[in-house]
A and B are shown apart, each in its own frame.
Chain A
Amino acid sequence: MKALKKLLDKARPSFEPGGKLHAFRSVFDGFDTFLFTPGETSRSGVHIHDSMDSKRTMIIVIVALLPCLLFGMYNTGYQNWLACGETTFPFWSLMLYGFLAVLPRIVVAYVVGLGIEFVVAQWRREEIQEGFLVTGMLIPMICPIETPLWMIAVATAISVIFVKEVFGGTGYNIFNVALVTRAVLFFGYPAKMSGDSVFVSLNSIFGLGGNAPDGFTGATPLGQIATSGATSQAELANSLTNLAHETLSTWDLFLGLIPGSFGETSTLCILIGAALLLATGIASWRIILSVFAGGAVMALIANTFATPTYPASFLSVADQLCLGGFAFAAVFMAPDPVTSCRTNTGKYIYGFLVGAVAIIIRTYNNGYPEGAMLAVLLMNAMAPLIDYCVVEANVRRRMKRLPRTSADEK
């Protein structure tokens, strides 16, 4: 660490005004403050500098994502082994296979996104903002593992430029950047983002894993439900299978060894991440709690009035909360401090609606097997309105308490 610090300090003069590498000063500054807490302190006034700046916050979110990431690697390998009909699952081979499968996607997302951030920061003569640190990790985790790399690059670029940079960069975006990337992929390239052959990695990588048989299909549980045509709860429960055609129980769905987008299958790992985010106070417990509450209430309503027209309505509440991207969206997407509500009352409303809308879309729209992405994006758009209403209601309530004075009547 010391040696690194020395190296950075030695390189600093060439990045200062007049130095040879001045054009890259924002890049240098970005790396410097990423690695070390800045040494500058305020010279006047009463500003208190907390060591928890936004870079430190982002790093904790990354740490919270690690369980999901590691599990995603294992699961990617596991699904490939299953698809090839293997019956033994060597742990390290599975992990390595998953690592090799996801690494290019992470690299592409970071290179494209950070590249745009660096260019914009340099162009606007600003510091590099660290918002993309988490976004770049989220993007591969919410996409199917078979998404082509160039599509990720295109969608990341569109999303970073049009959702974030044109609104003023990190902290000013109105929508969650990672989710918009997924939405661009989803609407732009539907054939690669849904269906039953994109959620399982089907080819061997560097001799690891195997090639699945031609025409192999591996639908996600939600995909299976949408096409199952089940007419009762028992029938639906039997139609949920993994790639080896074994029936999945709620516990299996909770653990997450099922086909799905890379990082979102395991509710268990998501909850570990949630615990870390809540313990450090980074994510709002109000939002996370109310998303689950909203989802549970809506799932209960759907289950009470289950009809064969909408097979997903036969799912139990627990299944609804464990399946698909719901839990991931609840923990890592909805509480995004930039795009969610600011007021505490607003957070409850916002979270509840995210949960409820996600289940509504998933259950009552057979065209979209999963609704968490659309629900969060929709509520992102609504968040400022909710805040406005909460603030106005508060103002009105306090105005009523105010005794009428002659000044008011003028």
Chain B
Amino acid sequence: MADKVSNRDIFFNPFSKDNPVIVQVLGICSCLAVTAKLEPALVMGISVIAVLAFSNVIISLIRNTIPTNIRIIVQLVVVAALVIIVNQLLLAYAYDVSKQLSVFIGLIITNCILMGRLEAFAMGNKPWPAFLDGVGNGIGYTVILVIVGFFRELLGSGSLLGYKVIPQSWYDAGYADNGLMILPPMALLVVACIIWVHRSYNKELQEK
């Protein structure tokens, strides 16, 4: 990582030019699994922001004392501890959503974005930039999750955050929700469309 990168760039780059999902294509698995509805997608995104930010800070604080050959284990222990905290908080305060997210909160630990940021950034930077990087990447991930969840819930269930937004009169006139949107393959297609639009605006990202 070049040391000239300003804190501002560290925070804002993951939103678009360096987005973890649509540019680095990380975290696709959870993107398929939790986006059938908007609410779990949002909660998942917030959980990832929290875990990513704090694990980045913790690893950054102890980066000089971690022996290189066991660093992965140390990182995993930190992430696992944070994931358990988040999971318990969700169980306590948002039980229904945590039921919907089921194992995927636990599986944040295997999310490529986390290990990627810890290895690539937190291990070599000070706590404050590491915190910004964690939050930035978490938000970049959340934004994509929310967009995918928005379209999948709107077209697949006709609702947003559980509220019906497509009026009953449409259904009476023959409109029907698209069941395919609820199925995981459609999440890939929606992500693909986002990448398509994103790349056509950012020509420098297009592969030759």
Identify the A interface with B (CB < 8 A). Answer: 148, 150-151, 154, 162, 184, 187-192
User: Contacts A187-B180, A187-B183, A189-B178 given; 9 further ones with Cβ under 8 A?
Assistant: A148-B174, A150-B175, A184-B180, A187-B179, A188-B180, A188-B181, A189-B176, A189-B179, A191-B176
A184 to B178, CA, bound (A): 9
Q: How many residues of B contact A (CB 8 A)?
A: 9
B178: chain A residues at CB < 8 Å are 154, 188-189
Nearest CB in chain A: distance from B144 CB, A: 19
A184: chain B residues at CB < 8 Å are 180
User: B189 in the interface, Cβ–Cβ < 8 Å?
Assistant: yes
- Is the CB–CB distance between B189 and A188 below 8 Å? no
Nearest CB in chain A: distance from B199 CB, A: 13
Nearest CB in chain A: distance from B119 CB, A: 34
Contact for B189 among A148, A150, A162, CB less than 8 A: A162
Residues of A contacting B: mostly:
helix
Nearest CB in chain B: distance from A149 CB, A: 9
A150: chain B residues at CB < 8 Å are 174-175
Closest chain B residue, CB of each to CB of A150? B174
Binary CB contact string for chain B from 178 to 192 against chain A (1 if under 8 A, 0 otherwise): 111101000001000
Closest chain B residue, CB of each to CB of A148? B174
A1 to B173, CA, bound (A): 45
Q: What are 16 contact pairs spanning A and B, CB under 8 A?
A: A148-B174, A148-B176, A150-B174, A150-B175, A151-B176, A154-B178, A184-B180, A187-B179, A187-B180, A187-B183, A188-B178, A189-B178, A189-B179, A190-B179, A191-B176, A192-B176
A151 to B179, CA, bound (A): 12
Nearest CB in chain B: distance from A177 CB, A: 16
A402 to B189, CA, bound (A): 48
Closest chain B residue, CB of each to CB of A191? B176
Closest chain A residue, CB of each to CB of B193? A162
A202 to B120, CA, bound (A): 64
B176: chain A residues at CB < 8 Å are 148, 151, 189, 191-192
